[in-house]
Structure 1
Amino acid sequence: MRGYADLDIEEIAEWPLLAQVGAMIVLVILLQGAGYWFYLMPQTEHIEQLKAQEQTLKSTALIKANQAAAIPKLQAQLAELSQRYDYLSQQLPAQKELASMLASVNEVGLKNSLTFTRIDWGQKQNQPFLYRLPLNIELTGSYHDIGDFSQAIAQLPRIIHFDDVNWQRVSQESSTLHFRVQAYTYQLTPEVRDEP
C-alpha cells in the first residue's frame, strides 16, 4: 500500500477511497471558497449598498411626504400673509396722495382747535423695501385738544407714526402747550410696488 505522499493527481481514480473522499472535500471547500469570494461577497456588498440606498430613499420619501402634507397649511399662511400685506400696503400713501395727506392732518388739527406753526414733509429716507417720509409738525393748543388730535391722526386711513414727541408750556402762566413731533409715514419703493 502506497503512502499518501506517493499519490499522483493523475492517478486519482486509483487512490484509496479515503484519499479520494478527502480530495473531493478539499476540492469542494476550495470551490465554495472561490464562489463565495468571487460571487457571493460582491453580491452581499451590492445588497448592503442597496439596503443603505433604500433607507436613504425611504427617509427622502418621508421628508417629501411631510412637506406635501404641509402644503395646504403653508398655502393658507401664505394667503393670510398676502392679505395682510395688501391691507398694510393700501395704508401706505402713493406719491400723489402726499399733498392731500398733509391737508388731512391740517384739517384734523383745525377741527381740534389747534394752531399750526409748522407742518411740512422732510427729506425722504431710504430703508429696505420702503421709503420713510418724515412729517414735521409743530402746533399749539390745550392738552386735551392735542390728545384728541393724536387720536384722530391714528384713525386716518394712511399710516402716520409719531416719534420724538416734545411738548412744553408756551409760558409759565399759560395752560396752552407747544407740541412738536417728528411723525413718519412710509411708501413702498417702486420695485416693491410693481410686484404682483
Structure 2
Amino acid sequence: MDLSEIRDLDYSNIGSASTGVKVLLLGLLALVILIGGYFYIVKDKRETLAERERTESELKQEFSTKQEKAANLEAYKAQLAEMEEMLEVMLRQLPSRTEMPELLVDISQTALGAGIDNELFEPRAEIKRDFYAEQPINVRMVGTYHEFGNFVSSVASLSRVVILTMRDISLQPVEGTGRLRLEGVVTTYRYLDDTEGGAVTAGGGQ
C-alpha cells in the first residue's frame, strides 16, 4: 500500500480497495469510535465520579464538624450555666421592687444635695422586660457642669448599684445665670424577683 492508493481511493466503492487500505480505514474508524466513546461515556463517568468524591469529602467534613460540636456540647452547657449564674448575681445587685421607691427618693435628694434644682422629677409607668424592669423618669434639672458631675458621682456611691441611662436629653444654657437646664427622660433599672417571673434561664428568657 502506498499513499497514491489512499489519494486515488474511490470512496463510493471502498470494497474494491486493497487489503492494506481497508485495514487502515478500519483502524481509523476504530480510533474515531474510541475517541467518541471517551467523550460521550468515559469522560461523563469521570466527571460524575469526581462530583461524588467532592460530595463525599464535604459530607466527611460536615460529619467531623458535627462530631466535634457534639463532643463539646457538655462543655458549652456548663459554660452557659456559669454565664447565667453570673448574670443572676449581677441582676441581684440592682434594686428590688420594694427598694425602688426609696431609691427614687435617694436620686432626687442626691441631685438637691449636689446643688441642682429639680424643676421636674416625675417617675413614669414601669416597663418590664424579660428579667429586669425599666423605670423611666421625666426630669428637668438646672445646675452647673460641676454640680451635674457631683450628682453622677454621688449616685454611683449609693448603697445599691444604680444604672442611669438618658434618652431624648437636651442641655441648654439658662440665660443670665451661667447654669444649664437638663431636660428629658432618665431611666434606672431594677431586677424582677421570682414572683414576677424574673429568674434567668437558658436562652436569657424567663
Normalising by structure 1, we get a TM-score of 0.56
Does the aligned pair in 2 maintain the 1:108–1:152 contact within 8 Å? yes
Q: Deviations over 1:73-112 (max 9, x none)?
A: 3144314421332133224432211111112212321231
SS at match of 2:162: coil
Give secondary structure in 1 for the equivalent of 2:139: strand
CA contact (8 A) 1:117 1:139 kept: yes
How far is 1:146 from its partner? 1.1
Q: Pairwise mapping of residues 1-196 of structure 1 onto structure 2 (< 5 A)?
A: 65-127=67-129, 130-154=132-156, 156=158, 157-171=161-175, 173-187=176-190, 190-193=196-199
Structure 2 contact 88–200 (Cα < 8 Å) conserved: no
Q: Secondary structure at the residue paired with 2:163?
A: coil
Aligned residues: 138
RMSD across aligned positions (CA): 3.2
Aligned-pair identity in percent equals 23
* Letter in structure 1 aligned against 2:95: P
Equivalent-residue separation in structure 2 for 1:104 and 1:135 (angstroms): 14
The 2-side partners of 1:154 and 1:166 are apart by: 22
Which of 69-78 and 110-119 deviates more? 69-78
SS at match of 1:106: helix
Give CA-to-partner distance per residue, 1:135-154, whole Å, 9 cap, x none: 12222111211123234435
Structure 1, unmatched stretches of 5+, are 1-57
DSSP-derived class of the 1:118 partner: strand
Higher relative contact order (CA 8 A, sep 6+): 2
Letter in 1 for 2:90: L
Counterpart secondary structure, 2:98: helix
Is contact 2:131-2:199 (8 Å) kept? no
Contact 1:168-1:179 at 8 Å conserved across structures: yes
User: Can you list the C-alpha shifts for 1:34-59, whole angstroms capped at 9, x where unaligned?
Assistant: xxxxxxxxxxxxxxxxxxxxxxxx99
Residue ranges of structure 2 left out of the alignment (5+ in a row): 1-59
With normalisation by structure 2, the TM-score equals 0.53
Greater C-alpha Rg: 1
How far is the alpha carbon of 1:124 from its aligned partner? 2.3
Instruction: State the alpha-carbon separation in 2 of the partners of residues 181 and 155 from structure 1.
Output: 23
Q: Is the 8 A contact 1:154 1:160 kept in 2?
A: no
Q: Secondary structure at the match of 1:96?
A: coil
Q: 2 CA distance for matches of 1:109 and 1:124?
A: 21
